[in-house]
Amino acid sequence: MSVHPCEYRYYTHEMKKVFTEENKLQRWLDVEAALARAHARLGRIPSEAAEEISRKASVKYVKLERVKEIEKKIDHDVMAMVRALSEVCEGDAGKYVHLGATSYDIVDTAWALMLKDATRIIEKRLRELKDVLLGLAMEHKETVCVGRTHGQHALPFTYGMKFAIWASEVNRHLERLRECARRVIVGKMSGAVGTMAGFGREGFDVQRLVMEELGIGEVEIANQIVPRDNYAELIFLNALIAATLNRIAKEIRDLQRTEIGEVSEPFGAKQVGSSTMSHKRNPHRSERVCGISRVIMSHVFPALENAALLEHERDLTNSSAERIILPESFILLDYILSEIVQILKGLEFNYENIARNLNLTGGLMMSENVMLNLVKKGLGRQEAHEILRELSLKCAREKIPFKKAILEHETLRSLVTEEELEEWLNPKNYIGTAVEQVERLVNRLRSQETP
């Protein structure tokens, strides 16, 4: 019976498969097989033994149930796997299984294989998200909306810029992931405290050959485990990506508020918003992204403690935490990445409300543009700012349009015509280089992907 929502609710099959018990066992076996082949290439064990170990290093022969049965007796999961593999090998091949290695030569190298698969999936999701955002940026590069600072109407903005800014952030995550993977996706074959003593003078060769076989990098230097600052960096990057998804989802939620109503996440024809309030159209998918992101971000703390608090050449405190945070971090991150992509693909725009909100303050949001144009007319910048500040307060107090207040002001009415003021107060005339910024960003990021 499933307990964790990662098992039955918040997952994609592709990522979940990476962290199943069966796949972890297979990755352990893959490392054992590579180790046996490395020994054989160096003449340390018979080639026939390496071939037999490699042939039987499969969950087809080494059953998870058998490994668990042995583990119950000996209370050591890696050694249970070693015994299970040894007992299915024919001839005397079994006696060469795990030769010279320690448990975490197998575990950490297998983690590298699983993390390689997991990061590739995350990279694929990030690329899809970036592509969706770039498409939305171009589609809405001229969709003028209210720009908000401190939760208040500020200046005209464009939805294209909003999406482009997010796309740029996602692109930085892709760059970080590529850089991080180079350090994190590494294995080791160096023995109980890292001296390679179990492999004699051929330790460097054994480690090199194993990692070449498996297609991953070699750790630069290690004690019994790969340094956990590597894993902490990866967990932190996952948290950083989750923070971006949180930000995007929170913005969608805010813009879907009844009082704003500019965009909304997709809502199915048969979808129910509330068990009692039939009119509700809740942004529940965006809320789910925000909620799950909090869990992913919380993984940073145990990952940092794993890096900082291991005793001497190692203890076991990292192991239990990593069995939880590594699968959970990747499965949940992959899930909310998939969710946000689908939300954005189906995002709905209410152009009437976008236009309504642009004019909600009666022109007050255009005060900067009016001020700058008054300076061109000869008024001092500070004087223009103060006059418009006072007029803004008057407009709010007396509930009158900004245009009316300006045209009735004794100083300003002599400086500006009604026609000029109409131009100054039009939000679409004050978006600066917004369109060009979007086009530049989109062209740059898309050109990076050109073969």
Decide: 179 and 94 in contact? Cβ < 8 Å.
no
Rounded to two decimals, the pTM is 0.93
Closest CA to 30 of 230, 221, 218, 187: 187
Say how many C-beta atoms besides its own lie within 10 A of residue 88's C-beta.
19
CA distances 346 to 138, 266, 339, 341, Å, are 16, 5, 11, 9
Q: Which amino acid is at 279?
A: H
Instruction: Label the pairing between strands 217-218 and 186-187.
Output: parallel
Say if residues 115 and 412 touch (Cβ distance below 8 Å): no
- Any residues with CB less than 8 A from the CB of 429 and at least 6 apart, and which? 369, 423
Correct CATH for 364-424 of 3.90.1010.10, 1.10.40.30, 1.20.810.10, 1.10.10.410: 1.10.40.30
CATH classification (class only), 5-96 = mainly alpha
Going from N- to C-terminal start, the domains of the chain cover 5-96, 103-140+157-264+281-356, 364-424
Element (H, E) at 132: helix 103-139
Q: Are 321 and 109 in contact (CB under 8 A)?
A: no
CATH architecture of 103-140+157-264+281-356: Up-down Bundle (1.20)
Active site residues: 150, 274
Number of H helices, E strands in the chain: 19, 6
Instruction: Print pLDDT tens along the chain (451 aa).
Output: 888 999 889 989 999 999 999 999 999 999 999 999 999 999 999 999 999 999 999 999 999 999 999 999 999 999 999 999 999 999 999 999 999 999 999 999 999 999 999 999 999 999 999 999 999 999 999 999 999 999 999 999 999 999 999 999 999 999 999 999 999 999 999 999 999 999 999 999 999 999 999 999 999 999 999 999 999 999 999 999 999 999 999 999 999 999 999 999 987 656 666 556 666 688 899 999 999 999 999 999 999 999 998 889 888 888 899 999 999 999 999 999 999 999 999 999 999 999 999 999 999 999 999 999 999 999 999 999 999 999 999 999 999 999 999 999 999 999 999 999 999 999 999 999 999 999 999 999 999 875 4
